[in-house]
Each structure stands twice: as structure tokens, then as C-alpha cells.
Structure 1
Amino acid sequence: MTGPVRSVSQALAILRLLAETSPMSLSDIARVAGLSPSSCLNLLKTLVDEGAVERDGRTKHYRLARAWAAAEALRDGTAQGLIDRAQPLMAQCAERYDAALGLWKVISRERVRLIARAESKAGVRVAMADGQRQPLGGGAVGRALAAAQGVGRDELARRYAGVRWQAPLPFDDYAAQVARVGAAGFALDEGFTHRGICTAAVSIAPGFCLSASIFAGSRDPAEVTALAEALQRLRATLLPA
């Protein structure tokens, strides 16, 4: 069986990057995409020739071509609709359970991005930064997405390797946690990705995930399960009948 074509994957990574941040210089694109400047330049020339990317002759910066940007905006309209529906429900859940809720979107083979968040009004609370990104395999979000997508062991290992774990977590344990998501209905990360933070997560649609984070040790197991079940109810409300 043949594997993915590397140059195609790299070209798509550039398109996703420019969809997120435009315009960008050649050096910045190469650095973020993890490519050599020469390889990146060749890919960009091809994308320009194919009409997917435009180059500003004055600044020498690259941006997504208008037609592709319009298609990306149309796709993001789905995300915006989900955000609009989810935001008030997330705020209610955050306040009721004194947790930080996040709505995440897969943006590449490597990353997910926070596209909406809600926090409680407690004086001391978990907080998340707008637009933050994290490795695709990291946290409860990574486990929930992997379980929902039914990824194989090799792909799971690739995602696991891309995470800087803050507490030791052998791959076999990680894989076992992903395998348990189906039965539990939610994924859980207890301080492995972010020390001192316990996070539950549920996949809600292809490429999207909901999370709820609290301080580790601040709730007993029954309360953590209740928080996860609240996420499941929120998901059921958001998904069409």
C-alpha cells in the first residue's frame, strides 16, 4: 500500500497556513511549515502557477488567492454557525460547573485551534487564550478526536509523538485511554498535557471538539464525570436531530 505523497501534503499545509495567516513572507512560511526555503519556494511557485496562491510583487509576500479565500470563508461559515450556537450554552455550562470550556477546530494534520471559549466568573479560575493552538494529539481533545476518527495505531503514534507531555505518559497507556473513549463517551486528560489541569472532551462534529478544564484534584471522580456528561448533553443540543 502506498503512503501519502509528501509534496501534496506540504502544499496543503501551506494552503492551510495562508488561510489562517495572510500575507506571509517566504521565510515565515518555511519556518512555520517546517520546510527548507528552497523546497518552500518551489511549492509556492507551483501554487502560484495553479492560481491557488498570489505573490505581491512589491512586498514579496504570499497570500491565498481570492477564489481559494472565498472557499475558505464559506467553509469557515460552518464554524461560525457552530460558534454562534455553542457560545451561550458554553457560558452557561462554564458558570454552572466552574470550568473553562473550549470549542476546538482541526486546522492541519498537526494542530487544533481554539475558536471559542467560555469561563466561569470565579475569582480563581482556569483561563485559555483566544486562538491558542495545540498539537493534534494533545490533551483530552486529541484523544476524543482520535477515537471519533478511528485512527490506526501508526497515526496515533505520530500524533502522540508531536506532544510535549508535561507528565510521563507511555504510548501504550495513551492508546488505551483513546480506546476507552468509545465506552466512556468522553476523553480525559489528568495533568499529562498541562500540569495541574484536568480536562474532559467530546468530539461533536468532523473536525470539531468541545473541552472543559478544571484544576486537577479540585473535584472527586463523580464530579469530573458529571462535568463530562454535561459536555455530552451540550453536544446533543448542538448536533442536528
Structure 2
Amino acid sequence: MQVETPAQTTKRQVPAVSRAVAILRFLARSPEPVGVNPLARELSLVPSTCLHILRVLQDEGLVEFDSKTKRYTIGVGILPIARAALQRNTFSTLIQPKLSELSREFGVTSIATQLSEPGQMIVVALSQSNLPFRLQVDLGSRFPALISATGRLFAAFNANDESDLQKRFEKLVWDHPPAFDVWRQEVRDARTRGYSVDQGVYISGVTVVAVPVFGSNGAMVRSIVAIGISERLKDKEIPRLAKAMQAVRDQIQELQIETGS
């Protein structure tokens, strides 16, 4: 009997699973409940196939169905799965107290993000500042991988196809959209500097500072992000904040090596 090695194993497509995952992701992103036909159209599915999958997901509590409107939303049954994933995420566990320290010292909202589905970053840990005015960010929040300070880092360390990069850039939504050439220079600066800054470009009056966290292959797989009010987070404070964030990144990566996680 011949045993297949990992390199020899062929990855088999399982269409039903891929479609179910696509449906869950779409419903998670949708701000409003969605009917079968619009959902099938958006995902290029046969409506009857889409309906069968939705009914199975509904039976499992992963989607909810409103019999009056005939529309579907993401279900609360997804929460235990998401909670278990976060609890088992060693990076999230290790970085949480460090984020709290950053928030206390610099008066910022500190978050850690992780690359999830293609082109999306997800918030896996966070700490709010104690200031009267603060930004609302939630665990599990998703945003495009190329947006704001984190996006410049993603483009600097992960993106190689220039034409694809520009197409994705043009779909981003900013308060003050930068020109692509300007943004590309900022991407190059971020790569050289080792951190990135967005001062009121993504969100008016808000400064975002991000540092990359690298995987074993050298690509950026996570980021540490600090979000503050631009009026309080002055230019001279940003390098000190970025240095503290880089120190946190290095400490966490050392801990992960020590624990073998």
C-alpha cells in the first residue's frame, strides 16, 4: 500500500462546502437581510441550490430566516464557533495585555488584526482607550486588507501584481481618497520605515498607525494597529508609539517561538 505524502496529496474541490462558506461570508458582510434570489445572483449560484444550502445552514443555526420578509441573516449559531477560534488563537491571547498597555500609555484604541478570507483583515484582539471620546471597534470586525495604514503595509509586503493592486485600490472607500501614485509612494515609505501612518485620509480627524507581524514565509499575516484622534496624536508622538508597537510585536513573536505556537 502506498501512502500519500502531503506534497503528493491533491487538493480536492468540494463545491457544496465552498458555496456554504461563500454564503456565510456574504451574509456576515451584508448590513441588511438578503433574499434567496439576490444572494444567488451575487454569488453566481443557481437559486434552488442556494436555497437548499441556506436551509441546511438554518437548521444548524448558522443563518436565520425571517418568514415575513423571506430574507436571511447570519445566525447567532456562528458565535460559539467564532469565540472558540479566538480563544484558541495564541496570538490573540498573548497580545491582549500588551494592547491594554499601549492604550493606557498613549490614549489610543489598540487592535490586532489577522488576514482571514482573501483580501480581508479581521480584528482578533482589541483594547479601548480611557478617553471620553473613542472609536467603536468590535472583535470580528472586517475591513479590506488594502485600506488605511494596515493596507499600506499589506501592499508593501504581500502584493506583487501592480495591475491587480490598482484595481483593488480603486474599489476602496476613504474620506479623502489619495491618488494611486501618492499611495504607492507611501507604500514604499512604509516598507522602508517598518511601520505605516494614515493621518485623516481613511477617516477624517483620525490617525492610524500600524506595524506588520510576519509569518514564517516572510509575508505579513497580522498587524498591530493604534487608532487615535489626530488632534491628540501629534507628529512627534507617532515615532515613539510606532517603536512601542514594534517592541510589542517582537515580544509576542519571541513568546510564540518559546511556546512553539
- Structure 1 length normalisation: TM-score? 0.72
Q: Residues 1-241 of structure 1: matches in 2 within 5 Å? A: 15=21, 18=24, 27=35, 31=39, 34-38=42-46, 56=56, 76=85, 80-206=89-215, 207-240=221-254
- Asked if 2 retains the 8 angstrom alpha-carbon contact of 1:104 and 1:113, the reply is yes
**1: CA distance between counterparts of 2:159 and 2:151?**
12
Cα distance, 1:84 vs structure 2: 0.4
User: How many positions carry a matched residue from both structures?
Assistant: 216
- Asked if 2 retains the 8 angstrom alpha-carbon contact of 1:55 and 1:61, the reply is no
**2: CA distance between counterparts of 1:127 and 1:58?**
30
Please give the secondary structure, in 1, of the residue aligned with 2:98: helix
Please give the secondary structure, in 2, of the residue aligned with 1:239: helix
The more displaced of 178-187 and 102-111 is 102-111
Please give the secondary structure, in 1, of the residue aligned with 2:89: helix
1:209 partner amino acid: S
Structure 1 residue ranges without an equivalent (≥5): 1-6, 64-68
Cα distance, 1:224 vs structure 2: 1.0
**2: CA distance between counterparts of 1:107 and 1:30?**
25
**1: CA distance between counterparts of 2:249 and 2:85?**
19
Cα distance, 1:150 vs structure 2: 4.0
- Asked if 1 retains the 8 angstrom alpha-carbon contact of 2:194 and 2:212, the reply is no
Please give the secondary structure, in 2, of the residue aligned with 1:198: strand
**2: CA distance between counterparts of 1:138 and 1:122?**
25
Cα distance, 1:216 vs structure 2: 1.4
- Asked if 2 retains the 8 angstrom alpha-carbon contact of 1:26 and 1:62, the reply is no
Cα distance, 1:19 vs structure 2: 7.3
More helix by share: 1
**1: CA distance between counterparts of 2:130 and 2:20?**
39
- Structure 2 length normalisation: TM-score? 0.67
Deviant stretches of 4+, over 3 Å: 11-14, 16-22, 25-34, 57-63, 75-79
**2: CA distance between counterparts of 1:111 and 1:33?**
22
1:108-145, CA deviations, whole angstroms, 9 ceiling, x for partnerless residues? 22322212111221223334233222122111111112
Q: 1:61 to 1:27 in 2, by over 3 A?
A: farther
Structure 2 residue ranges without an equivalent (≥5): 1-12, 64-77, 216-220
1:47-67, CA deviations, whole angstroms, 9 ceiling, x for partnerless residues? x9xxxx89629859988xxxx
Identity over aligned pairs, percent: 18
Q: 1:56 to 1:85 in 2, by over 3 A?
A: same
Cα distance, 1:230 vs structure 2: 1.3
